[in-house]
């Protein structure tokens, strides 16, 4: 099988505390209670942009430090910020909220984002110094107004855009009657689209591939755009590709809750391996609704509200080049409908069944990357260390199978696990954040294979009680097989034609072939 390869990955974060307050579900529900202690206290727990940039897990996400480096930083990480931390990393950046409002305006195709005039000019100046945006793109920020006009839009159902305590813009509704095109939904969708555009732009920059060389785009976030007649119809993929300049591409959206990105990557690899497309991008933006999701627990424990960033990523899946890590399509792990949701059954199907097909033992996978949620976010909410729980289950099954001794479980978790560092945006932490780092380590010869695991809670949609899980193995590229050269038969053909011509001539044929 001619496996596809992972040719590059990008990761971005956007610090959006004000969007968190107007679009995060937890905050919106708390605001319905006029006596909410959480709403009264939350402003004291909101981080500054510089604090978000210096937060060690965020620096891991954009590639400035490794997951292994994070293990050596004392917790709580929010009390041990990194000195001289940078906004920009080798995978992407952490964008501030004011610039993100500008990026939303650039990504807006229906004049829904209106920015205050002076604010818009300031953002244009900032973007003129940004490495990703051209003058033509900056000039897409064209819907500007004074503060009084923006307030009138707010009275008509628009959602406010605030920065440093000042009203700087709004997002308008796209229809007077259709709730699926309300200002709230438009803000969510534009936030997803803009953060995905940022991730795709960085993928193009870091890989060096031309936008026009992208053939297909699969978008796999947890949002779904549409209208009242088809609420999740899409298509984010082409909308994102349009802004990123991928004029030769088409695409579609794929949804699977938290497991969606892994489904999308396997689909991308299959399309490339089958020769349908040469270069496929899997991309996702952030989920505004999940901002501040565990904020109540953070505030109650005197912590900063750590879920103040939107996540985004993009992965390039390309034809086998003999160098980049391959995606092993001959051994995909899947959680079948009949398997049940018991943790052991899940892990057997998505971890051990694919290993058995390749005659591999658990310890022969260098790293497992399941749900990589930052434990500093989930532990205060009572969810524990989610990645570690996955590794312990993998190790426990290895003991049961006789591949590991019971006393070796902790060392197995330490050696083969990846510390959680991703924001809890559902689809964002589900294995994908490790792909960029795994690719680098495999190319450097420090790793042979990693397993990327996506898991999803399908019951959240109230259509089924089923759970979901799917996985694939990234592996060192064995190199392209040398194809046997076809013998040069031109001289034989020439001789045959000459003899045939002489034969026809001898028979008196007028039109002998030359």
Q: What is the pLDDT of residues 180-194, one digit of tens each?
A: 999 999 999 999 999
Q: Which domains does the chain have, with CATH numbers?
A: 5-475 (3.40.47)
Residue 410 has pLDDT above 60, yes or no: yes
3-class SS letters over 251-318:
EEECCCHHHHHHHHHHHHHHHHHCCCCCEEEEEECCCHHHCCCCHHHHHHCCCCCCCCEEEEEEEEEE
Res 484: pLDDT:
36
Q: What SS3 class is residue 160?
A: strand
Query: Across residues 287-303, what is the average pLDDT?
Result: 97
Tell me if residue 471 falls in helix, strand or coil: strand
CA geometry: angle 428, 43, 99, nearest 5 deg? 55
Looking at residue 490, what is its pLDDT? 62
Q: Which strand (E) or helix (H) includes residue 14? A: strand 5-15
Average pLDDT over residues 438-467: 94
pLDDT at 234: 85
- 3-class SS of residue 328: coil
Q: How many CB atoms lie within 10 A of CB 484?
A: 6
- Identify the band that residue 491 occupies on the pLDDT scale cut at 50, 70 and 90: low
Average pLDDT on 379-408 reads 97
Q: State mean pLDDT over 433-446.
A: 98
Q: Which long-range contacts (CB under 8 A, 24 or more apart) does 401-405 make?
A: 401/352, 401/362, 403/361, 403/362, 403/363, 404/362, 404/363
Longest alpha-carbon distance in the chain: 109
The rounded mean pLDDT for the chain is 94
Q: Which of 427, 19, 429 is nearest to 188 (CA)?
A: 19
Determine the Cα–Cα distance for residues 386 and 366; give it in Å rounded to an integer: 19
Return d(Cα 238, Cα 246) in angstroms, integer: 9
Please compute the mean of the pLDDT values over residues 429-454 and round it to a whole number: 97
Q: Is the pLDDT of residue 481 over 90?
A: no
Q: Is 218 helix (H, G, I), strand (E, B) or coil?
A: strand
Contacts 24+ apart (CB under 8 A), 105-108: 105/140, 105/141, 105/142, 105/143, 105/169, 106/133, 106/137, 106/138, 106/140, 106/141, 106/194, 106/197, 106/243, 107/190, 107/193, 107/194, 107/197, 107/243, 108/140, 108/143, 108/190
Q: Is 485 exposed, middle or buried (0-12, 13-18, 19+ CB in 10 A)?
A: exposed
pLDDT value at 485 more than 50? no
Residue 400 pLDDT exceeds 80: yes
Q: Which residues contact 417 (CB under 8 A, 6 or more apart)?
A: 367, 368, 387, 388, 390, 391
For residues 464 and 98, what is the distance between their CA atoms, to the nearest angstrom? 40
Contact call for residues 260 and 226 (beta carbons, < 8 A): no
User: How many Cα neighbours within 13 Å face the side chain of 505?
Assistant: 8
Least confident of 76-85, 145-154, 210-219, 457-466: 457-466
Q: Is the pLDDT of residue 300 over 80?
A: yes
For the segment 204-237, what is each residue's pLDDT rounded down to a tens digit? Answer: 999 999 999 999 999 999 998 999 999 888 899 9
CA 331 – CA 351 distance, rounded (Å): 10
Report which of residues 474 and 498 the model is more confident about. Answer: 474
**Cβ distance 161 to 275 under 8 Å?**
no
DSSP state letter for 450: E
Please name which of 119, 89, 86, 79 lies closest in space to residue 102, comparing C-alpha atoms. 119
| Residue 138: count of CB within 10 angstroms of its CB | 18
Q: Are 21 and 159 in contact (CB under 8 A)?
A: no
pLDDT digits (tens, 9 = 90+) for 42-91: 999 999 999 999 999 999 999 999 999 999 999 999 999 999 999 999 99
Give the mean pLDDT of 278-302.
97
Rounded CA gap, 424 and 292, in Å? 9
The 3 state secondary structure assigned to 104-119 is: HHHHCCCCCEEEEHHH
CA 105 to CA 138: how far, in whole Å? 9
Average pLDDT for 303-311: 98
pLDDT on residue 148 = 97
* pTM (2 d.p.): 0.92
Average of per-residue pLDDT across 127-138: 95
Rounded Cα gap, residues 481 and 242, in angstroms = 37
């Amino acid at each position: 099988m001619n496996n596809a390869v992972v040719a590059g990955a990008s990761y971005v974060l956007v610090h959006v505390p004000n969007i968190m307050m107007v679009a995060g579900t937890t905050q919106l529900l708390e605001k319905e209670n006029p006596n909410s202690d959480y709403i009264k206290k939350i402003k004291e727990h909101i981080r500054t942009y510089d604090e978000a940039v210096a937060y060690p897990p965020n620096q891991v996400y954009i590639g400035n430090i490794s997951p292994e480096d994070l293990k050596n930083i004392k917790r709580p990480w929010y009390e041990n910020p990194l000195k001289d931390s940078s906004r920009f990393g080798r995978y992407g950046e952490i964008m501030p909220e004011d610039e993100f409002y500008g990026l939303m305006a650039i990504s807006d195709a229906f004049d829904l984002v209106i920015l205050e005039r002076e604010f818009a000019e300031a953002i244009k100046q900032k973007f003129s110094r940004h490495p990703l945006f051209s003058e033509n793109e900056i000039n897409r920020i064209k819907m500007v107004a004074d503060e009084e006009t923006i307030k009138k839009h707010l009275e008509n159902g628009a959602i406010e855009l605030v920065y440093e305590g000042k009203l700087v813009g709004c997002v308008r509704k796209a229809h007077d009657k259709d709730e699926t095109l309300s200002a709230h939904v438009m803000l969510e969708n534009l936030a997803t689209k803009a953060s995905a555009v940022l991730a795709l732009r960085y993928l193009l920059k870091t890989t060096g591939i031309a936008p026009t060389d992208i053939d297909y785009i699969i978008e796999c976030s947890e949002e779904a755009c549409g209208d009242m007649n088809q609420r999740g119809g899409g298509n984010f993929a082409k909308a994102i590709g349009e802004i990123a300049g991928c004029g030769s591409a088409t695409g579609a959206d794929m949804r699977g809750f938290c497991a969606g990105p892994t489904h999308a990557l396997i689909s991308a690899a299959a399309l490339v391996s089958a020769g349908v497309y040469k270069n496929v991008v899997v991309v996702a933006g952030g989920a505004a609704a999940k901002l501040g999701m565990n904020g109540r627990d953070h505030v109650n424990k005197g912590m900063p509200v750590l879920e103040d960033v939107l996540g985004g990523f993009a992965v390039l899946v390309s034809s086998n080049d003999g160098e980049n890590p391959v995606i092993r399509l001959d051994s995909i792990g899947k959680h079948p409908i009949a398997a049940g949701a018991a943790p052991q059954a899940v892990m057997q199907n998505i971890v051990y069944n694919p290993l058995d097909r390749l005659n591999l033992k658990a310890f022969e996978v260098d790293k497992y990357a399941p749900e990589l949620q930052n434990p500093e976010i989930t532990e205060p909410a009572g969810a524990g260390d989610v990645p570690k729980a996955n590794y312990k289950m993998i190790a426990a099954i290895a003991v049961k199978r006789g591949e590991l001794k019971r006393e070796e479980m902790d060392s197995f978790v330490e050696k083969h696990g990846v510390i959680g560092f991703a924001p809890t945006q559902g689809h964002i932490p589900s294995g994908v954040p490790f792909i960029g780092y795994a690719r680098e380590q495999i190319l450097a010869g420090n790793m042979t294979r990693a397993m990327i695991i996506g898991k999803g809670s399908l019951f959240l949609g109230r259509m089924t009680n089923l759970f979901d899980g799917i996985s694939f193995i990234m592996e060192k590229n064995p190199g392209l097989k040398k194809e046997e050269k076809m013998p040069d038969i031109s001289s034989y053909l020439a001789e045959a034609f000459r003899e045939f011509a002489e034969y026809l001539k001898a028979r008196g044929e007028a039109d002998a072939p030359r």
